Amino acid sequence: MEEQDYIQFEAYLVGDLSEEDLLAFNMRLESDPEFNKSFEIYKDLSSNLEHQIANEREIFDFKANLDVISSQHFNAIHDKELVVKPSPKSNFYKYAVAASVVVLLGFFVFNQFGGPKYDDYNNFDPISLTVRSSDDSNFSKGEQSFNAKNYKEAIKVFNLILEDDFTNLEIQLYKSMALVETNRFEEAEILLGKITNGNSAYQNKAKWILALNYLKQDKESECIKVLKTIPQDAEDYKTAQELLEKLD
């Protein structure tokens, strides 16, 4: 191909060819297979570059999101495969378990006096989803599971609802609460981050849950940071202030 051919390819893609040139261009595409092939490659290259360069940020975000979901899905599988079966001849395992129980006990006892805990704040009000969509059994299943504190099941059902209606912020919020309850902190954080950054009625509630998400992980400074963003007119403002006082 000559330089001129590539300049023509570009002009064609931009829509800059005169009517006469366009006609000649199309004719050559049909009659000259090498020209046609080069043009196809040029077109694909251009489209690929545009995607990779213009969407750089979006691609990065997508991969980050995918990474989190993939790890979460597979960590459970890897853990299962890596379970070490204790040998009956060795008592080391037993001692190790006993020792860690002692350490854990110490940790809990210490924590009892250490400050406010997630469990002091997670008495969520029962949710009600069925009034609006009485015909949908997923909504009633989700509601029942959540209110019965069967959070694992609730997450499953919420996912089903969100698959068809992924912009449903109310369900997203309840899902995030269930995620915190089941210690899926990273997922909860991503989801809550989205809701708090939005401009919805659930924004402040999401901030509160995000604070609890940090509290449960003993990330005090993060928890304090979020608590401070909860405005006075928010439903959870009073409780948030109380918690803030205890933490500060």
Partner 1 sequence: MNDKKLHEDQKYIDGLADNNAFIIQAIYDKFAPKVINYIKQNSGDAYDAQDVIQETIITIYNQAKQKKLQLTCPFDAYFFLLCKRKWLNQLKKSKGKEVTINEEVLSKDDDAQVLSFETSIFENKQALFNEMFQQLGDACKDLLKASFKIKSMEDVAKSLDITYAYARKKKSLCIGQLTKLVKASPKFNRLNY
Looking at beta carbons only, is 68 or 234 nearer to partner 1? 68
In the bound complex, what is the minimum distance in angstroms from residue 176's beta carbon to partner 1?
Answer: 11
Q: Give the chain's count of helices (H) and strands (E).
A: 12, 0
Question: Which of 125, 142, 124, 120 lies closest to 133 in space, CA to CA?
Answer: 142
DSSP 35: H
Q: Give just the sign of the alpha carbon dihedral 86, 91, 96, 101.
A: positive
Looking at beta carbons only, is 8 or 203 nearer to partner 1? 8
In the bound complex, what is the minimum distance in angstroms from residue 152's beta carbon to partner 1?
Answer: 13
In the bound complex, what is the minimum distance in angstroms from residue 150's beta carbon to partner 1?
Answer: 18
CA distances from 177 to 109, 156, 185, 206, 228 (A): 26, 13, 10, 9, 20
In the bound complex, what is the minimum distance in angstroms from residue 8's beta carbon to partner 1?
Answer: 8
**211: number of CA atoms within 13 Å, CB side?**
27
Question: Which of 183, 190, 229, 182 lies closest to 208 in space, CA to CA?
Answer: 229
Looking at beta carbons only, is 144 or 159 nearer to partner 1? 159
Looking at beta carbons only, is 21 or 218 nearer to partner 1? 21
Residues that bind partner 1 (CB under 8 A): 1, 3, 5-7, 9-11, 37-38, 40-42, 44-56, 58-59, 61-63, 65-67, 69-70, 73-74, 77-78, 81, 159, 162-164, 166, 190-191
In the bound complex, what is the minimum distance in angstroms from residue 242's beta carbon to partner 1?
Answer: 33
